[in-house]
Structure 1
Amino acid sequence: MTTSPPCPTRPPTYPHTHPHWWQRPWVRYGALITLLALSGLVILALVREQTGTQGFLVGLGLAVLPVPLLVAAFRWLDRVDPGPWRNLLFCFAWGACAAALIAIVANSFATRWIATATADPAGADTLGATVIAPVVEESAKAAAVLLVFLFRRRDFTGIVDGVVVAGVTATGFAFTENILYLGTAFGTDQLTGDSGIASVTAATFFVRIVMSPFAHPLFTVLTGIGFGFAAVLADRHHLRRALLPLSGLLLAMGMHALWNGSAAFGEYGFFAVYAAFMLPAFGLLTWLVIWTRQRELATVRAELPAYVAAGWLAPTEPFALGSMRARRIARQYARRHAGKPAARAVAQYEAYATSLAFLRRRALRGRAGADYVVRERELLDALWHRREVARPALEHAARATAPPPARPWPGHWAYGPHPGYGPYGYAPTAPAPIPVPVPTPIPVPMQYRAPHPYLPYSPPQPYRQ
């Protein structure tokens, strides 16, 4: 009779290997910050050289006006599963510094080369604005979306993430470009003898800041949508994951070229393109993003009940976490009763629960990565450590946003000695309730379950072998 060897009490140890110096996070962060800082200094010097100090200050003061509104709008779209601020800061810095520098250098070089080759400066400017500029600028802005897609894949999970990343990048690019255009217009007014902000500056401000502050974000959002569709595909669809971002980039270039070439369509060509293409495209994309956000909330309500059955969430939490109004009420309740740290903990609880729902949806569709179990454990532990603060707030929000009870039967009286009784104490007989089919429970793809629900202070159990 043979016996099996005993199981080892600990996993085998391997010699510790140090990563290469260029693979260390602080080296990569330092190189990225240095690159963006140098790009910012160079673009600052170039813009100041073209506009002058006074024009630069005027352009800076006017160009900064739409930035908070645009960033707040994109942050509002990302409220269901908000990404980290460091990604948005990187995207804005890339658009304002690196992408703007690439665009200025490449556009100037290409326009001068075309003018020298064709001996037609006017034609070179038109060709550069309608062909060269859209290709160069959209490619430079798409580089930021590609970097976030590759190196921050955990934070890039769908269409809304692509829209937010691309939109913030284009907002930074438009900020620098508006400084250049408004500063140049102010210099033109100064040369003509006008004092203060005169006709050219006012016209430029109206066109670029009032009428079309969303122009650059609208173009680059098409690229972001392509990356967003690629993010929801499985890893085995390599060709489609490559073609979707490329298709979005080509659409962005085409719309950008149409916008830049609108001046060549006659006196009212700009207004025709604005009314016929820009406004409908802006409305369509806004509808798409809001519809996608509603689908994300539906995913939260559909996937989190599995964790209620496992003991990790309270029964009322999926409903509260699937409603933006309930989330807001929960944060306000926590801030009112326990201060700002509690409200911050509730906001983190909501974000972790949303990420958990999205992770489960990807797992059920076969799109979860190799670190699915580890990521699920991290999210569940983060929820467990914040449950004491978040659960009372979410329960209060669920009660506050619960729909009113339906009328028990048609034609019942709303007055009488008791609720539901008619005049003289008469109570009609309610019809028999309609049986509701119970859906088949979805299996929970988890390696361990929550602690006993009646022991809230016990630590989470380890993985089951």
Structure 2
Amino acid sequence: MSADVLDARSAALETTAWGERFHFFQPRNVVFWMFLWLCGTGVVKGWQMFSPLSGYFGRALLIASVVGVISAAVWGWWFRHVDRYERQPVALVITAFVWGATAATFAIAVPANTAVGSLYGKLFGQVWAQDWHAGLSAPFVEETAKGIGIVVLLALAPRLVRTPTDGLLLGAFIGLGFQTSEDLLYSVSGATQGFGAHQTDGLLGSIATRTYSDIISHPLFTALFCAGIIYLIGTPAQPRRIVRGLALVVIPVVVHGVWDSMIAIAGGSGAIVFVIMAGDVIFGLTALWIAFVWAHPREAHFVRDVLAPEVDTGVLTDAEVTAAAGWRQQRQYIKAGTDRADRKRRRHIVRAALDLLADLASGKGHDTDDVLDTRAEITRLRSVGAQAPS
């Protein structure tokens, strides 16, 4: 094994900080205390909003909370699944979620949106404000409130938040926290309509509306916005790309604004609302796909550098390392299997290669027990395929 290949592995692990741990308690970091203050303020303000409803509307509040927890768990599982390479520490992910659910929502967005709405009403009249307030306030206020979260995480974990993919995934969890709190607000608001005479109907209607609207909502907006901030700021793993950064910051604001204003834009026409909604969804998801396409080459480069020594020693092949570096390459590699058993074996080898990547990152490139066990598993999987009857 050449020294150059090992040096490239060490450099990749140093640059990406894959395998690093996150320590939340940082008493000497002023951002840590700012985080606690703003999140604490958010918790207090949220409590002040919901506690008066805990009596008569207690059942609606409980149901909305349970649905919110289930929805957050499902979306959170999916976001962790998308985190293909070395996953972010759970503590950092929770920190991102908490910022979105407390500080961004109740400490910043709710009072700011209220203030902007009041200003619009005084300047342009209540009718205009009712039509356009959401679309011309929330995108700017809420994306900024959530975007501050990635800057906070950069200050709390500068070695862990380095690539646009980190921005996409951590931004998704910040947005998920915001979405969870916002869904709770809207659900309880639906239950309280008509003085609570039809709590269940109002609650279920709000939950249904928020469920389908969550397909293109705050996790998507914030993922794009936070990836844009990473491009704008630049990190040791990602050189500054101003144009990409500005594009990814502006796009979610536009998509969010159109989504919140589509009834006003359509002039009340249901058909036009549907067209605008479909176009906004397609545009938002396309932007997210492009963001991952932009981020993929650097991530794949780091994966190849970390796993290249395993090719030299015969643990992995070039094709397997390439498959581990991208979803499309993985599908092509698995599809090239000779039969169903071979395709299944290839799928397991790619997963084991990603496990080896994580073990190497945790062990700083050294041959730890986990690394040796994963290598042995890859060898076993390959031998099973070789022994299979033709």
Q: Under a length normalisation based on structure 1, what TM-score does the superposition of the two structures give?
A: 0.62
Q: Structure 2 matches for 1:48-59, cutoff 5 A?
A: 48-49=51-52, 53-54=57-58, 55-59=60-64
Q: 1:134 aligns with which of 117, 139, 149?
A: 139
CA contact (8 A) 2:162 2:237 kept: no
Identity of aligned residues (%): 20
- Give me the whole-angstrom Cα distance separating, in 2, the residues matched to 1:293 and 1:236: 12
| Partner deviation per Cα, 1:247-297 (whole Å, 9 max, x = no partner) | 422221111111100111123243222212213432552475379569745
Alpha-carbon RMSD across the aligned residues, in angstroms, is 3.8
Counterpart of 1:316, as a letter, is V
| Partner deviation per Cα, 1:140-184 (whole Å, 9 max, x = no partner) | 011112222344232234332221111111111011111111101
Structure 2 stretches lacking a partner, 5+ long: 1-24, 325-329, 331-346
Report the counterpart of residue 124 of structure 1 in structure 2: 129
CA pair 330-170 structure 1, distance change in 2 beyond 3 A: same
Q: 2:109 aligns with which of 103, 106, 109?
A: 103
Q: After TM superposition, give the deviation of residue 315 of structure 1 in Å.
A: 2.1
2:200 is paired with a residue whose SS is coil
CA contact (8 A) 2:143 2:222 kept: yes
Q: After TM superposition, give the deviation of residue 73 of structure 1 in Å.
A: 1.3
- Give me the whole-angstrom Cα distance separating, in 1, the residues matched to 2:288 and 2:208: 23
2:365 is paired with a residue whose SS is helix
2:353 counterpart of 1:353: no
Q: 1:32 aligns with which of 35, 46, 68?
A: 35
2:259 counterpart of 1:256: no
Q: After TM superposition, give the deviation of residue 82 of structure 1 in Å.
A: 0.8
| Partner deviation per Cα, 1:379-416 (whole Å, 9 max, x = no partner) | 123x44543333212322444578x9xxxxxxxxx9xx
| Partner deviation per Cα, 1:90-136 (whole Å, 9 max, x = no partner) | 11100000000111011112212332344x22322333211121100
- Give me the whole-angstrom Cα distance separating, in 2, the residues matched to 1:307 and 1:71: 32
| Partner deviation per Cα, 1:193-226 (whole Å, 9 max, x = no partner) | 33x521x433322221134343112222221332
Q: 2:204 aligns with which of 195, 202, 208?
A: 202
- Give me the whole-angstrom Cα distance separating, in 1, the residues matched to 2:193 and 2:87: 43
Number of residue pairs aligned between Structure 1 and Structure 2 = 337
| Partner deviation per Cα, 1:352-403 (whole Å, 9 max, x = no partner) | 5368xxxxxxxxxxxxxxxxxxxxxx7123x44543333212322444578x
Report the counterpart of residue 375 of structure 2 in structure 1: 391
Report the counterpart of residue 348 of structure 2 in structure 1: 326
- Give me the whole-angstrom Cα distance separating, in 1, the residues matched to 2:85 and 2:385: 17
1:82 is paired with a residue whose SS is coil
Q: 2:77 aligns with which of 64, 72, 81?
A: 72
CA pair 78-237 structure 1, distance change in 2 beyond 3 A: closer
CA contact (8 A) 1:95 1:169 kept: yes
Counterpart of 2:348, as a letter, is A
Report the counterpart of residue 270 of structure 1 in structure 2: 273
Counterpart of 2:150, as a letter, is V
CA pair 237-174 structure 1, distance change in 2 beyond 3 A: closer
| Partner deviation per Cα, 1:72-93 (whole Å, 9 max, x = no partner) | 1111111322111111101110
If you compute each CA radius of gyration, which structure gives the higher value, 1 or 2? 1
Report the counterpart of residue 174 of structure 1 in structure 2: 179
* Higher relative contact order, chain-length normalized (CA < 8 Å, sep 6+): 2
CA contact (8 A) 1:74 1:167 kept: yes
2:226 counterpart of 1:220: no
Structure 1 stretches lacking a partner, 5+ long: 1-21, 332-345, 356-377, 405-413, 420-465
CA pair 231-79 structure 1, distance change in 2 beyond 3 A: farther
CA pair 93-305 structure 1, distance change in 2 beyond 3 A: same
1:81 is paired with a residue whose SS is coil
